[in-house]
Structure 1
Amino acid sequence: MFKVLGSVWALLLGMMLVMIGNGMQATLMGVRGGIEGFGTLQLSIITSAYFLGFLIGSRMTPEMIRRVGHVRVFAALGSFISAGLIAFPVLTDPYSWTAIRVLLGFCLSGVYVTAESWLNNAATNATRGKILSAYMIAQTSGIIAAQGLMNLGDAAGFLLFVVPSILVSLSFAPILLSASPTPAFATDKPMTLRQLYRSSPLASVGMLILGGIFAAQFGMASVYGARAGLSVGQISGFVASIFIGSMICQMPIGWLSDRMDRRWLILGVSVIGAVSTGIGAFLGSDFKTLLVLGLVMGGMASPLYSLFIAYTNDFLEVEDMAAASGGLVFVYGIGAIFGPMVTGQLMEVVGPHGFWLFLAALFTLIAGYAAWRMTRRPSVPVDETGAYVGVSPTGSPVALAAAQEWYVETAGESAAAQPGSPSGSPP
């Protein structure tokens, strides 16, 4: 493992610094927006703007890389990110913040695509799974570390915007000095949404809903905290608990995924998510309670992303997996755009606990739809399902494509090792 990390440590360090910057600005939006007098609905639109930019960037970056190369794309987009972070405390109106968030989403998506393509190029069949796991840990650790840095200064000042800008600027050095330019990668034409739905209705609908859940967690948790009267330290602790929960639960849920009907696991995880968020709507804003609920909520939401991908793969041929992953990312992105806006509208009407009510409703929708789908299609035998691949929802389509590539390689090796297997195709 240490040898594997030694070959990509600079890329992982650079991406962790990027995620610290991204995590800080995401939390700052809710805190500083409240100080500036922005309404909940305005902040929800600003939050959604990030995911709109991210979706556009994931589509356009591959073409940009083909034209000018990885290094130029990464350096240019990174510079825009650093400038955008500094611009927040200077241009303190909702329209400017919305435009900056679209820009940041676009640029961060492009940075992820570029860095992840370097990581994937550095990986081999034997190391791809470990590198993907290390990358997911680096991403999540960066967001968690960002919450600790939120206590370095006053949210009403400039320092908390300068720090992430500096960190993003510093992230260029280890990445650009360690990564050699790679040929522009080929992108697969995404599967149509109709084809994707026919292959896996549960994953298609579930990913759409999950996009709203994750975007609300990532972007609106700080807005909720500010509206509920939490201090900056408490808000950052609450946000950190969500991502700590996602790290803790990823492995045990993945272990269960490979040993039981995935639909039952999706149902169980969604029910736990619905119960935890439902409790949050009625227990008020006690900080210790919020930390526990954040751990459970985050621990259920993030693994669902990987569960839906694994479940989709169970019904696909190997050659269709890359195309399906592109469709799943697109559906997820659409949900992420609308999730914060609906959350903000609900919070305007019923108050801060609308944050929890929205999440509880979405978890319940996933659970209900999973239960209904279990009556419409027989399950895939556990010994015929593919491996669970842990993927972070914060990554780009390249990370998901790399995970699919690892899945195909692993499945092929397993099939080839079986007695009497005529080929290396997945079972």
Structure 2
Amino acid sequence: MSCEEEVAAGTGPERAGTTFGQQMLLLFPLVLGMLGMQAAAGVLGTGIPLQMALSAVSPETIGLVASAYAAGFAAGCLISPALIGRFGYRKALACFVMLQAAATVCLALLPFEGWIALRAVMGACGAGAVVITEGWVNTAAPAEVRGRIFGTVNMLGRMAMVAGQAVAAFPWALGTLAFAGPAVLYAIALAFMVPSVHGHPVTAATRGAGLSRSLSFLETPAVAAVGVIYVGAVGTTLISVAPAWGVLVGMSSAAAAMLTVSVQIGSFVFQGPLLWLSDRMDRRLVILFAAIVTAICALVLLAIPSGHQAPLFLIYALIGGVSLPVYALSFATAFDHGGAVANFRLSSGLLFNWALGAVIGPTVATAAIARYGPEGLLHFLVLTSAAVALLLAGLIRRAGHPNAPSK
């Protein structure tokens, strides 16, 4: 039975009438595997640069290793739909995760220069795994609870990644354990995910698709595409650049690091209410609201005198609280229209757009800081959020009808 037939018959992944709790219970093994992959990615994301820095590797090589992962991730977003269509989602998922585990082990065997190719492979496989798992979660979630389900999964994944990053900071987690631990997590994640999914979501939209079909990410709903590019640019900048901004404005290193923690805490607090709201109104308006609030908060930061640190943490928490959930809101908006037929091509297109924003955002923000000083980061946040808000308002007005989830 095809995915379309299963959905029509009520036996496929999309089960109308199920509650949020029931749907999360059905997805629990898949989500558990996703959390294992996120924790492994967190350990490696922090452990790899730490290992290289402690071994006196040149900054250029460290940068190449980091860029290789991002480049591989973007490439994986493009080629994964074709691989899924050719081999099927189960085989493709197994290959992606097993290659990640194998490449992780090889990190302990090859010199640092070899890590560039390994991280590119891991980025491509990571993108493919995310395309499949997030595509399945969105397909399985009925429209009336899709925002909350995807947002909850996204929030849990972020918590798992932060936990992995924290583990990598301990001295005992360096060395061989830094590679063996994530490899084991990938293997365990695969054991949970592959048997847990039911049905067959590979359809005519992905079957036999080539690279030209994969490039159909340009067909991604406009508001969703803008949203994921925006959160890729702003979210990545908040996580990677905000601590440096804190040091530049005179904060201690510990206090500057807490800015990132404030962003994450704000996201945890506000994501649930925003996604709950998006399940009851036009999701596009919630994304527009998030961009406007982010621009206003950045303007407030510009007006705060130096030396007043307490308001900084609160405002950064609010910025993170409204901007980071745009990722889940954009995916839910796209899948309101994408349906089951194009779920994997849709996921790959959205992830590619997010990766595009994640590459551009920190680059532009740090260039602004270099030219204008610490205020350059805030100018970046204001101008980017204001421009996105204006673009979204135009898109919503042009569409002329609500993008609320269908009932």
TM-score normalised by length of structure 1 = 0.66
3-state DSSP of counterpart to 2:38: helix
Distance 1:47 1:36, change over 3 A: same
RMSD: 4.8
Is 2:49 aligned against 1:25? Answer: no
CA shift at 1:166, angstroms?
1.9
Alpha-carbon distance between aligned partners in 2 of 1:117 and 1:263, rounded to the nearest angstrom: 21
Mapping for residues 142-157 of structure 1, pairs under 5 Å:
142-154=160-172, 156-157=174-175
Alpha-carbon distance between aligned partners in 2 of 1:165 and 1:222, rounded to the nearest angstrom: 30
Residue in 2 that maps onto 1:244? 265
Distance 1:298 1:108, change over 3 A: same
Query: Does the CA-based 8 Å contact 2:237-2:361 persist in structure 1?
Result: yes
CA shift at 1:164, angstroms?
2.1
Distance 1:241 1:143, change over 3 A: farther
Residue in 2 that maps onto 1:301? 323
Q: What is the letter of the counterpart of residue 292 of structure 2?
A: G
Distance 1:25 1:163, change over 3 A: same
Cα deviation, 1:307-327, whole Å, max 9, x if unaligned, reads 66788999x999999898876
Distance 1:298 1:45, change over 3 A: farther
3-state DSSP of counterpart to 1:162: helix
Q: What is the letter of the counterpart of residue 269 of structure 1?
A: V
For structure 1, which segment, 206-215 or 371-380, has the greater mean C-alpha deviation from structure 2 after superposition? 371-380
Alpha-carbon distance between aligned partners in 2 of 1:313 and 1:182, rounded to the nearest angstrom: 18
Query: Does the CA-based 8 Å contact 2:102-2:183 persist in structure 1?
Result: yes
3-state DSSP of counterpart to 1:182: coil
CA shift at 1:47, angstroms?
2.9
For residue 55 of structure 1, the aligned residue among 74, 84, 95 is 74
3-state DSSP of counterpart to 1:53: helix
3-state DSSP of counterpart to 2:56: coil
Query: Does the CA-based 8 Å contact 2:147-2:332 persist in structure 1?
Result: no
Residue in 1 that maps onto 2:11? none
Q: What is the letter of the counterpart of residue 15 of structure 1?
A: M
Q: What is the letter of the counterpart of residue 158 of structure 1?
A: T
Query: Does the CA-based 8 Å contact 2:204-2:341 persist in structure 1?
Result: no
Cα deviation, 1:145-171, whole Å, max 9, x if unaligned, reads 223423543465332333222222211
CA shift at 1:340, angstroms?
4.5
Alpha-carbon distance between aligned partners in 1 of 2:317 and 2:43, rounded to the nearest angstrom: 19
Query: Does the CA-based 8 Å contact 1:69-1:184 persist in structure 2?
Result: yes
Distance 1:107 1:339, change over 3 A: same
Distance 1:293 1:7, change over 3 A: same
Q: What is the letter of the counterpart of residue 29 of structure 2?
A: A
CA shift at 1:14, angstroms?
0.8
Q: What is the letter of the counterpart of residue 300 of structure 1?
A: V
Query: Does the CA-based 8 Å contact 2:267-2:317 persist in structure 1?
Result: yes
For residue 84 of structure 2, the aligned residue among 65, 72, 80 is 65
Residue in 2 that maps onto 1:386? 403
Q: What is the letter of the counterpart of residue 47 of structure 2?
A: L
TM-score normalised by length of structure 2 = 0.69
For residue 235 of structure 2, the aligned residue among 210, 214, 217 is 214
Alpha-carbon distance between aligned partners in 2 of 1:361 and 1:104, rounded to the nearest angstrom: 34
Residue in 2 that maps onto 1:5? 24
Alpha-carbon distance between aligned partners in 2 of 1:166 and 1:225, rounded to the nearest angstrom: 36
Cα deviation, 1:333-376, whole Å, max 9, x if unaligned, reads 322234455567778x68xx98x766534322223324655997
Residue in 1 that maps onto 2:14? none
For residue 362 of structure 1, the aligned residue among 362, 367, 380 is 380
Query: Does the CA-based 8 Å contact 2:232-2:354 persist in structure 1?
Result: yes
Q: What is the letter of the counterpart of residue 120 of structure 2?
A: V
CA shift at 1:15, angstroms?
0.6
Distance 1:131 1:149, change over 3 A: same
Mapping for residues 290-369 of structure 1, pairs under 5 Å:
295-306=317-328, 329-341=351-363, 359-369=377-387
CA shift at 1:86, angstroms?
3.5
For structure 1, the 5+ residue unaligned runs are 388-406, 414-427
Residue in 2 that maps onto 1:140? 158
Distance 1:212 1:357, change over 3 A: farther
Residue in 1 that maps onto 2:294? 270
Distance 1:176 1:220, change over 3 A: farther
Alpha-carbon distance between aligned partners in 2 of 1:245 and 1:371, rounded to the nearest angstrom: 21
For structure 2, the 5+ residue unaligned runs are 1-19, 207-212
Alpha-carbon distance between aligned partners in 2 of 1:117 and 1:239, rounded to the nearest angstrom: 28
Alpha-carbon distance between aligned partners in 1 of 2:292 and 2:246, rounded to the nearest angstrom: 28
% same residue = 23
CA shift at 1:63, angstroms?
1.8
Query: Does the CA-based 8 Å contact 2:29-2:196 persist in structure 1?
Result: yes
Alpha-carbon distance between aligned partners in 2 of 1:151 and 1:248, rounded to the nearest angstrom: 25
CA shift at 1:59, angstroms?
2.0
Q: What is the letter of the counterpart of residue 368 of structure 1?
A: A
Alpha-carbon distance between aligned partners in 1 of 2:167 and 2:392, rounded to the nearest angstrom: 45
3-state DSSP of counterpart to 2:359: helix
Q: What is the letter of the counterpart of residue 44 of structure 2?
A: Q
Q: What is the letter of the counterpart of residue 247 of structure 1?
A: F
Q: What is the letter of the counterpart of residue 36 of structure 1?
A: S
For structure 1, which segment, 21-30 or 289-298, has the greater mean C-alpha deviation from structure 2 after superposition? 289-298
CA shift at 1:80, angstroms?
1.9
Query: Does the CA-based 8 Å contact 1:140-1:247 persist in structure 2?
Result: no
For structure 1, which segment, 72-81 or 142-151, has the greater mean C-alpha deviation from structure 2 after superposition? 142-151
- Give the total of aligned pairs: 375
Alpha-carbon distance between aligned partners in 1 of 2:51 and 2:252, rounded to the nearest angstrom: 13
Residue in 1 that maps onto 2:185? 167
Distance 1:373 1:81, change over 3 A: closer
